[in-house]
Amino acid sequence: MPDADPAATNPHDHAPAAPPTPFTHVVYFEPRIAGNTGSAIRLAAVTGARLHLVEPLGFDLSEAKLKRAGLDYHDLAVMDVHPSFDAALDALPGARVFAFTAHATTSYADVAYEPGDVLLFGPEPTGLPDDVLDHPRVTDRVKIPMLPSRRSLNLTNAASIVVYEAWRQAGFAGA
């Protein structure tokens, strides 16, 4: 009887399986803070969401703060970098796009999320610009309720709230 192929019996000797289809896409439009993006990498890794970054970025992807915030999750997350907002949308044809802004009437908790939805968040100091909020692909403007006179949540804290709600609605598929 011939010897078994060692590569076929050792699970550590083959390429990892392709990542599952993401239940949602998180898009950071022109993010400025490396630590927030590192935290978003961790969020994508632990939930199965796919992270998209729209250039220009306010940091270098090799920055220590990005790596420290992402810890050892970089290899577990799926992330794409796009040269423009339109390029990011072209990569996600037909997807519904929810733009998160403090200046909206729809609450994130009132959205019935669907597989493949895009959750769009703006840069930390300014939020999404009007031309992005008014883009014809934006399905709705959505807010996360806060106390009055508060400017905003931390970017990745806000994304986490919504990603987990979308994942909850999907029955925490894959968990």
Per-residue pLDDT tens over the stretch 102-154: 989 999 999 999 999 999 999 988 999 999 999 999 999 999 999 998 878 99
Q: Where are the domains of the chain?
A: 19-169
Supply the pTM of this predicted model: 0.85
CATH class of 19-169: alpha beta
Q: Where are the alpha helices (DSSP H) in 64-154?
A: 64-70, 85-90, 130-133
Q: What is the DSSP letter of 30?
A: S
Phi, psi (deg, nearest 5) at residue 125: -80, -25
Residue 5 burial by Cβ neighbours in a 10 Å radius (0-12, 13-18, 19+): exposed
Least confident of 2-16, 35-49, 64-78, 152-166: 2-16
In this predicted structure, what is the pLDDT of residue 20?
A: 58
